[in-house]
Amino acid sequence: MAANSFREDETIKNTDMKKVFVRMMGYLKAHIAEIIPVLISLVVCVLINLVSPLFMEYAIDVHVANRNVTGLLLTAGAIVLLGLVYAGFVKLRIYFMSRIGNKILLDIRQELYEHVQTLSLTFFDSRPTGKILSRIIGDVNSLKEVMNNTITNLIPNFVTVFGVVVIMMVKDWKLALGTLCSMPLMMAAIFWIRGKNHKGWQDVRKKSSNLSAYIHEDIAGISVVQSFSAENETKSTFRDLANEHRDAYIKACMYSDLFGPAIDMSWAVSSMVMYLVAVVFLGYTEASVGMIVAFATYANMFWRPIMGLSGYYNQLVTNMSAAERVFDLLDTEAEIVDKEGATELPEIKGEVSFENVGFTYDEGTKEETKVLENVSFTARPGETIALVGPTGAGKTTIVNLISRFYDIQKGRILIDGHDLTDVTIESLRRQMGVMTQDNFIFSGTVRENILYGRPDATEEEMIAAAKAVNAHDFITKLEKGYDTELKERGAGLSIGQRQLIAFARTMISMPKILILDEATSSIDTHTEMLVQKGIQALLSGRTSFVIAHRLSTIKNADRIFVINNGGILESGNHDQLIQKKGAYYDLYMAQFA
């Protein structure tokens, strides 16, 4: 389903509509107790529908023919009473199905959201966020009417059509065949329309997803758009995508709108044939006025559900593409999972070992990129390892492999002697703290953001973590201190302040292994000096991996690895590497010359 660009249509594997429908209906099983009253009301309503024409036939042939006003009024009263009962059960059906439909929608959306949480970073790397949102929100919403109408329309319409055919055949098979004569014409028309319609609505979903992805990307980067005065270009792109969506929608609607005329034409042909059979072939001796009126009513009762079924089918085809997209996402398997028999990682000291590790992004594809080859090292518990090197050399890849955001293709990674693939992901990451250059600040209070990774921490522990990274002073100066509400992404705070809150959030989790990936790049030099003092005390006894382009921030590291050409080019502390006058020396002198 991947589509890296908002301009690129997502690909959905060919699916069997029957299997998709059956899978969608499987969500009804959890609500069977609430469906029973709906089914009871359906049975009552269908029975009332089927017997109503018989009352009319009886009234015409018996009471009208004999001018029995009293009998006619009593029959009319019975029909009105049946109508009131019918209306009551319809209201009951609508009430229960609305509740069931909303609950099912919640079930599907919850399942979809929880599944997305388990997917690997490669999944999110390969598609725009807007396209994922489109499936969780828009596509799931599209399933509600299908769920509701399956019970409220599909079942009663099918039963009504079957019951009407049986009654008509019993009363007069010749009139019945006249009424049904245009069915082959209708089936041929619907079969042709179906294929065109399904593909049309698939295209609509794809274009809608592209549009959502672009809107999300444009709003997320609005500061860049405005700083480059690129509003006209974004308007033009939006217009093109909106036009593509409009054109696809119009084309899909064109095929959808063919269902009604095809059935109307078949209905008209069948009505003419029925009256022709009644008048020419049967005459008054075999077909009374009441019978003809009853048959005309039954004909309407036959074709009206057919029209309803066609509307349901039209809706089903329209929204089946949404169901396909939802299930396609649910069937996307996480690449990083616990293997069978994986055990909990016990409390660790923090020794990290790489043994001939090799890693390639997108292995086996055209985009294959080899990053690491035969990398080996051991970080001792409590040791600080700094990683330096040119962009794209593999520094961030190394720390991502330690967190097992990706799986290696060659070699082994061990923590305290435990192979990462033998322990559960949750028990591994629970003992790690990761902070990157672009840490996300959630909507909520400062307190909630700091306690995000450890909600059970005490007030004293939270304040101690904030003080350690020198965030406490500026937090207390905010309007409500730690209870100050923050907007999405920490809007209203400086970049440095956002970084300090994120740093406190990482620190309070008390990780055994700490990863800092350009974590201080957005903090000014004065603040960075204060943070470094707090870090030194906080990192005591913890293994840490630090990536920084500003070499001044890693001078005190126990060891510095220069990463390049798929491996460790040099290693040693700052003084050793300066004396060696190799790659690190060149980097250092280039930065401070």
Q: Which domains does the chain have, with CATH numbers?
A: 17-330 (1.20.1560.10), 349-431+513-593 (3.40.50.300), 439-510 (3.40.50.300)
Are the beta carbons of 154 and 108 closer than 8 angstroms?
no
| Secondary structure element (H or E) that encloses residue 270, with its range | helix 259-276
Please report, for the chain, how many H helices and E strands are present, in that order. 24, 12
Q: Helix (H, G, I), strand (E, B), or coil: what is residue 347?
A: coil
CB contact set of 427 (below 8 Å; sequence gap of 6+): 344, 345
Give the per-residue pLDDT at 387.
93
Nearest Cα neighbor of 524 from 499, 556, 489, 505 is 499
Phi, psi (deg, nearest 5) at residue 265: -65, -45
Residues recorded for the chain: 593
- In DSSP terms, 419 is beta-bridged to 414
Residue 346's alpha-carbon distances to 48, 59, 434, 510, 513, in angstroms, are: 68, 84, 19, 15, 14
Q: How far is CA 290 from CA 253, 271, 278, 301, 451, in A?
A: 41, 16, 12, 16, 78
Q: Under a CB-based contact definition with an 8 Å cutoff, are residues 441 and 506 in contact?
A: no
Report the chain's terminal Cα–Cα distance, integer Å: 49
Residue 533 pLDDT: 62
The span from the CA of 490 to the CA of 484, in Å, is 11
Distances (CA, A) of 98 to 34, 40, 323: 11, 16, 19
Which helix or strand (DSSP H or E) is residue 70 part of?
helix 69-118
411 Rama class: left (phi>0) / alpha (psi -120 to 50) / beta:
left
What pLDDT sits at residue 572?
A: 93
The pLDDT value given to residue 1: 47
Is residue 197 packed enough to be buried (19+ CB in 10 Å), middle (13-18) or exposed (0-12)? buried
CB 414 within 8 A of CB 352: yes
DSSP-derived pairing of the beta strands 444-445 and 369-379: unpaired
Which residues lie across from 9 on neighbouring strands? none
In 3D space, the residue among 151, 155, 153, 182 whose CA is nearest the CA of residue 299 turns out to be 182
Each residue's pLDDT tens digit in the chain (593 positions)? 455 555 555 555 556 677 887 888 888 888 888 888 888 887 888 788 777 777 776 777 777 767 777 777 888 788 888 888 888 888 887 788 778 878 888 888 888 888 888 887 777 776 777 777 777 877 787 777 777 777 667 777 777 778 778 877 877 777 777 777 777 777 777 777 776 776 777 788 788 878 877 887 787 777 677 766 778 888 888 888 888 888 888 888 887 777 777 777 777 777 777 777 766 655 544 556 666 777 777 777 777 777 766 667 767 776 777 788 888 888 888 888 888 889 999 999 999 999 999 999 877 777 788 899 999 999 999 899 999 988 888 898 999 999 898 889 999 999 999 999 999 998 998 888 887 766 778 888 889 888 987 888 889 989 988 888 788 888 998 888 999 888 776 777 877 788 788 888 888 888 889 888 876 666 666 666 666 665 665 566 789 898 877 776 688 889 999 998 889 999 999 999 999 988 888 888 887 65
Give dist(CA 141, CA 139) in Å, integer. Answer: 5
- Contact between 562 and 583 (Cβ < 8 Å): yes
CA-closest candidate to residue 451, choices 375, 523, 403, 506 = 506
- CB-neighbour burial class of residue 158 (10 A; exposed 0-12, middle 13-18, buried 19+): middle
pLDDT score at 284: 45
* Bridge partners (DSSP) listed for residue 562: 388, 570
Q: Which helix (H) or strand (E) holds 571?
A: strand 567-572
pLDDT of residue 228: 65
Rounded distance between C-alpha atoms, residue 24 and residue 99, angstroms: 17
Q: pLDDT value at position 375? A: 93
